[in-house]
Amino acid sequence: MDYRRSHRYDLTLPVHYQASIKGASPHAGTSVTCDMSTGGISFRCRRPLPVGAHAELVIEWPALYADLYPIDVQVTGFVVRSDPGKTAVSISSLRFRTCAAPAEPWRASA
């Protein structure tokens, strides 16, 4: 039985991430999300990230603002679970942001 507080939504979206912990080199990469809720997000990761590390993620959202400008979601939080293949981050803050340049024609038609 799943006792999570928030419903998880299966979302496969491009994500750019960086995780850093004091005294160690930051880990950065590009991947795809697995699922997301109001309290956390999980994404595929080739190698485990340090649990407790501060994480910054930018998720490419599948919508356009005013049918023209791409939207992404900036998330900050902490790595709560990580193993080869999947990492989970608790969300401390989340905000949507629009890009200044209009979307490329191929993205607008997707």
Band of the pLDDT at 90, cuts 50, 70, 90? very high
Percent of the chain with pLDDT over 70: 87
Spatial contact of 36 and 9, defined as CB atoms under 8 Å apart: yes
List the chain domain ranges.
9-99
DSSP 8-state assignment for residue 45: E
**In terms of Cα–Cα distance, which of 41, 37, 110, 46 is closest to 81?**
41
- State the virtual CA torsion across 60, 24, 45, 89 in degrees, nearest 10: -60
pLDDT at 105 (0 to 100): 60
- CATH number at 9-99: 2.30.110.10
Residues 99-110 pLDDT 10s: 877 766 655 444
How far apart are alpha carbons 20 and 24 in whole angstroms? 7
**Per-residue pLDDT at 5:** 64
Which amino acid is it at 69? Y
